[in-house]
Amino acid sequence: MATPHIAAEKGDFAPSVLMPGDPLRARFIAENYLKSAKLVNDVRGVQGYTGEYKGKRVSVMASGMGMPSMGIYSYELFHFFDVRAIIRVGSAGAIAPDLHPRDIVLGLGACTDGNYGAQFSLPGTFAPVASWRLLQSAVQAAKGLGISPRVGNILSSDRFYDDSAATLQWGKMGVLAVEMESAALYMNAARAGREALTVLTISDHLVTGESLSSEERQKGFTRMMELALEIA
């Protein structure tokens, strides 16, 4: 059944979906890694594909930027298309001093400066965390791929341009990096009783100023993609 944002039928999506923010990254994954990839959604240019990876049926679809956009697409996938697990693959800005561009981070938990969780009317502060099964699988798969990921807390921020520079304050609590979607994804997964994990590649460093180009961000993060596909 189609939704306001996804023009697909039940069964068009595999049980596991990779979700980059960028539709062009979704297309790159489909064209370079999925066998017999079929376009199953293109509403508003948010491309979604389903195909096979090493004999497994896998889907990939963009989430757009920010928690509101991730909130919409992950909610619809979980609730209307029988998706069981969403693995976010995206870029992040490093906060931890020992991270560098192209390093891979697995989001154990997702702190946030946003208000997405207010809708659940909880009598306190909810701590959004990843699926332990997916996280454990990712750590094991990384070994086989020769990847040494960092595992820890990330920050999902509502702001890309932060006038107060408050983002860096999260580093004193051991937060590794900042992105813009994972807290909403983890909360939606928790509410739906489904699974989620974020796999990130560091694209720049908020303290040192190291950075990668937009083209490198779009097409150069293949290790992150391969790791996510292994556990999908």
User: Is 204 an annotated catalytic residue?
Assistant: yes
Give the per-residue pLDDT at 142: 97
> Looking at the domain assignment, is residue 8 inside a domain?
no
> Looking at the domain assignment, is residue 156 inside a domain?
yes
Q: What is the CATH number of the domain that holds 167?
A: 3.40.50.1580
Give the per-residue pLDDT at 7: 77
> Looking at the domain assignment, is residue 157 inside a domain?
yes
Query: In this structure, which amino acid lies at residue 232?
Result: A
- Spatial separation of the C-alpha atoms in residues 93 and 15, rounded to whole Å: 30
> Looking at the domain assignment, is residue 5 inside a domain?
no
- Spatial separation of the C-alpha atoms in residues 43 and 82, rounded to whole Å: 19
Residue 120 DSSP class: G
Give me the domain span that covers residue 163: 16-231
pLDDT means over runs of 10, the chain (232 residues): 77 95 93 94 87 97 96 96 96 95 96 96 96 98 97 95 85 97 98 98 92 71 95 97
CA atoms in the 13 A half-sphere facing the CB of 198: 39
| Annotated catalytic residue, options 113, 158, 162, 204 | 204
> Looking at the domain assignment, is residue 10 inside a domain?
no
Report the SS3 class of residue 133: helix
Give the per-residue pLDDT at 123: 96
> Looking at the domain assignment, is residue 31 inside a domain?
yes
> Looking at the domain assignment, is residue 178 inside a domain?
yes
> From the CA atom positions of the chain, what is the Rg in Å?
16
Count the domains in the chain.
Answer: 1
Six token digits for residue 40: 């199953």
> Looking at the domain assignment, is residue 84 inside a domain?
yes
Six token digits for residue 85: 């697990």
10 backbone φψ class: left, alpha, beta (φ>0; ψ -120 to 50): beta
